[in-house]
């Protein structure tokens, strides 16, 4: 089954990791490939997932924000990182070893043209029936909406930045 | 900060537990009170959360579906269970011991009139600043939208039942 979580609301990655928690807790094997977040990203869920052992793997394959928030890396560096993450995800999916594979913020990587839509679509089509694939990130292309079995759009109705409240670590999501 | 996750899309509880995972992983203390789910509910996340230890508690205070899916319990039994769960949640919130308190499906309990909106609003207003409160469930009343700092609506865009695919344990959410 192909799942898609998109929209401009906060919590898409968090929702995906929650789903991972559910599958893991049911005895399944889970791996999450992150296309934007880098190993330097400070995030509580990483520490929590590490406690869960080998049944739930988290691979931070990105190099951080692209072109914003002080990013000075050449575009080609981001592109190479995303391509390598897609290759790793491909091997994980085709191995058939996982009950759930999460491609976190793959939609963002697509919209930034770090990777090609045709390559992602080809991978979705090759996903074994016993493996669920969950794709996240805003700006999901229509082709992914069409191919998804379950699509959820998270809509921001209210956000603290608009009220002048700053996000804080451990809560920001 | 008061967070609200509502809408007709799947994954609201899962998203809330994912947020719990993030806060817990950042060193915070988390407790989730479930207003509909009962201890008999088979769910993978419970087993996963149990592995996390005392920092992340899950209290299944409900008695299951109300008036549907073969429920034969008197309404008063559901009402009593929801009231007790609200009282427990109240103690946890006012204790100031938790960084995140989740009131899972509290909106559903409100729409079924198991508990009173004024009691929930009073509790929201008394939440200490260092405790984040996350309320979930479809049918969120407007008063909760107004009081929330962050509100996310999960919109169902595509669902497998509509395509004739059956949910399976560990994935159904």
Interface residue B16 vs chain A (CB under 8 A): yes
Taking a C-beta distance cutoff of 8 angstroms, is the pair A135, B125 a contact? no
Substitution target from B56, B171, B173 for chain A, most A beta carbons within 10 A: B171
Task: Give the Cα separation of A56 and A66 in Å (integer).
Answer: 27
Task: Give the Cα separation of B53 and B50 in Å (integer).
Answer: 6
What would the pLDDT profile of B72-98 be if each residue is shown by its tens digit? Answer: 899 999 999 999 999 999 999 999 999
More confident call, B121 vs B11 = B121
Please state, as a whole number, how many other Cβ atoms lie within 10 Å of the Cβ of residue A29: 17
Q: What is the mean pLDDT of residues B110-128?
A: 97
What would the pLDDT profile of A100-112 be if each residue is shown by its tens digit? Answer: 999 999 999 999 9
Alpha-carbon distance B86 to nearest alpha carbon in chain A (angstroms): 23
Is the confidence at residue B127, as pLDDT, over 80? yes
- Nearest neighbour of B149 by CB, restricted to A11, A145, A165: A165
Per DSSP, the residues of B55-113 read GEEEEE---S-SSSTT--S-HHHHHHHHHHHHHHHHHHHHHT--SEEEEETHHHHHHTT
More confident call, B92 vs A40 = B92
Alpha-carbon distance A168 to nearest alpha carbon in chain B (angstroms): 11
The phi and psi torsions of A50 (rounded to 5 degrees) equal -60, -35
pLDDT of the residue at B173: 38
The answer to whether B25 contacts A9, with C-beta atoms less than 8 Å apart, is no
Query: How far, in whole angstroms, is CA A52 from its chain's centroid?
Result: 19
The phi and psi torsions of B87 (rounded to 5 degrees) equal -65, -45
Task: Give the Cα separation of A133 and A110 in Å (integer).
Answer: 16
| Helix, strand, coil abundance in chain A, percent, nearest 5 | 40, 20, 40
Taking a C-beta distance cutoff of 8 angstroms, is the pair B114, B80 a contact? no
pLDDT of the residue at A21: 92
Q: What is the mean pLDDT of residues A126-154?
A: 95
Taking a C-beta distance cutoff of 8 angstroms, is the pair A149, A18 a contact? no
pLDDT of the residue at B42: 67
The answer to whether A14 contacts B21, with C-beta atoms less than 8 Å apart, is yes
The answer to whether B49 contacts A24, with C-beta atoms less than 8 Å apart, is no
- Nearest neighbour of A46 by CB, restricted to B4, B13, B25: B25
pLDDT of the residue at B172: 47
Interface residue A147 vs chain B (CB under 8 A): no
Query: How far, in whole angstroms, is CA A108 from its chain's centroid?
Result: 9
Query: How far, in whole angstroms, is CA B137 from its chain's centroid?
Result: 7
Alpha-carbon distance B113 to nearest alpha carbon in chain A (angstroms): 25
- Nearest neighbour of B152 by CB, restricted to A11, A18, A163: A11
Interface residue A55 vs chain B (CB under 8 A): no
- pLDDT-based confidence at residue A44 (cuts at 50, 70, 90): confident
Alpha-carbon distance A6 to nearest alpha carbon in chain B (angstroms): 10
Tokens 């914003």 sit on residue: A68
Across A7-11, A27-31, A167-171, B34-38, least confident range: A167-171
Q: What is the mean pLDDT of residues B59-64?
A: 92
The answer to whether B21 contacts A16, with C-beta atoms less than 8 Å apart, is no
pLDDT of the residue at A29: 97
Q: What is the mean pLDDT of residues B44-48?
A: 81
pLDDT of the residue at B165: 46
């Amino acid at each position: 089954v192909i799942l898609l979580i998109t929209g401009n609301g906060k919590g898409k990655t968090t929702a995906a990791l929650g789903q991972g928690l559910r599958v893991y807790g049911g005895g399944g094997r889970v791996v999450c490939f992150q296309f934007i977040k880098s190993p330097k990203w400070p995030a509580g869920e990483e520490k929590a997932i590490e406690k869960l052992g080998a049944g739930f793997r988290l691979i931070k394959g990105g190099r951080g924000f692209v072109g914003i928030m002080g990013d000075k890396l050449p575009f080609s560096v981001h592109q190479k990182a995303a391509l390598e993450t897609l290759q790793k995800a491909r091997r994980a999916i085709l191995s058939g070893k996982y009950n759930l594979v999460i491609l976190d913020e793959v939609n963002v990587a697509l919209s930034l043209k770090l990777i090609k839509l045709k390559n992602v679509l080809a991978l979705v089509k090759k996903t074994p029936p016993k493996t669920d694939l969950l794709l996240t990130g805003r700006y999901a292309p229509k082709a992914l909406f069409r191919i998804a079995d379950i699509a959820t759009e998270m809509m921001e109705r209210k956000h603290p930045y608009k009220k002048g409240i700053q996000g804080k670590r451990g809560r920001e999501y």
